[in-house]
A and B are shown apart, each in its own frame.
Chain A
Amino acid sequence: MKIFRWQGVVVLVVLAVLIGGFFIFFFDSLMKVILEKSLGAALQRPVEIQKFQSKISSLQFGIYNIQIADKKDPFKNIAQIDKLEFNLDGKKLAFKKYNIENLSIEGIKFNTKRKKPAFVKEEKKEEEKKSKLSIKSFSEKLKVPSAKEILKREKLKTVEVGKEYQEKLKKMQEKWKKQYAEIQKEKEDIKKIQEEINFLKKKVKKIKSIDDIKKITSTTKQLQKEIKQKLAKIKALKKEIENDKKVLQKAYADLQEAYKYDLKHLKEKYSLNMEGGVNLAGLIFGDQVKNYLDKAISVYKTISPYLKKGEEKQKEIEQKNYRLEGKYVKYKELHPYPDIVVEEGKLSLVAFNSNISGTLKDFSDNQKIYGKPFQLTFSSENGSLFKKFYFHSVFDRTKKISIDSFKTKIDDLKSKDYEIKNFVKFTNNKLAVRSDINVKNEKELSGYIKLIFEKTEPVVIRQDSSGEIIKKLFEGINKFYVGINLSGEIDKPSIKIQSDLDEMVSKRLRKLIKAKIDKFNKELNNQIAKQKEQYTKEIKKYQAEIDRYKNQLKQYENKYKSILKDIKEKYGEKALKNQIKKKLFKSFGF
Chain B
Amino acid sequence: MNYIIKVLSALNSNQAPWQISLAVVLGMVLGFLPFFNFFSFLVIFLAFIININISMFILSSAVFAGLGLILDPVFDKVGLWILTFNPLVPLWTYLYNIPYVQWTGYNNTVVMGSLFISLLLAFPLFFILNKLIVKYREKLGWIFERIPILKGLKLFKFWEITKGNN
Contact = CB atoms under 8 A, between A and B. Distances in A.
Interface of A: 1-6, 8-9, 11-12, 91, 94-96, 322-334
A324 B45 contact: no
A325 B107 contact: no
Interface string B101-119: 0110101111101000000
B97 A334 contact: yes
A95 B102 contact: yes
B79 interface: yes
Contacts of B73: 324
A94 B97 CA distance: 10
B49 A8 contact: yes
B150 interface: no
12 contacts: A3-B50, A4-B49, A322-B69, A323-B68, A325-B110, A326-B34, A326-B108, A328-B108, A330-B107, A331-B93, A331-B97, A333-B96
Q: 4 tightest A-B contacts by CB?
A: A326-B110, A94-B99, A8-B48, A324-B72
B100 A94 contact: yes
Contact of B83 (A94, A329, A333): A329
B50 A4 contact: yes
B130 to A, nearest CB: 14
A6 to B, nearest CB: 7
Contacts of A329: 80, 83-84, 92, 107-109
Interface of B: 16, 19, 34, 44-45, 47-51, 68-69, 72-73, 75-76, 79-80, 83-84, 89, 92-93, 96-97, 99-100, 102-103, 105, 107-111, 113
Nearest to B110: A326
**Dominant secondary structure at the A interface:** loop
A408 B130 CA distance: 76
A326 B76 contact: yes
A4 B72 contact: no
B96 A5 contact: no
Nearest to B76: A326
B51 A4 contact: yes
B107 A328 contact: yes
Contacts of A94: 99-100
A327 B102 CA distance: 13
B48 A12 contact: yes
Contacts of A91: 99
Contacts of B89: 331
A326 B16 contact: no
Contacts of B102: 95-96
B108 A327 contact: yes
A538 B34 CA distance: 107
A96 B89 CA distance: 19
Contacts of B47: 8
Nearest to B109: A326
A11 B73 CA distance: 35
Contacts of A333: 96-97
Contacts of A3: 50-51
B22 to A, nearest CB: 10
A8 B121 CA distance: 26
A324 B110 contact: yes
Contacts of B45: 12
B62 to A, nearest CB: 14
Contacts of B50: 3-5, 8
B72 A327 contact: no
Contact of A5 (B51, B68, B84, B93): B51
Nearest to B45: A12
Contact of B51 (A2, A322, A324, A328): A2
Given A2-B51, A5-B49, A12-B48, A327 B68 contact: no
A47 to B, nearest CB: 23
Contacts of A324: 72-73, 75-76, 110
A29 B54 CA distance: 32
Contact of B103 (A4, A96, A326, A331): A96
Nearest to B79: A326
B121 to A, nearest CB: 19
Given A5-B50, A324-B76, A330-B96, 18 more contacts: A8-B49, A11-B48, A91-B99, A94-B99, A95-B97, A322-B69, A323-B68, A326-B79, A326-B111, A327-B76, A327-B80, A328-B109, A329-B83, A329-B92, A329-B107, A329-B109, A331-B93, A331-B107
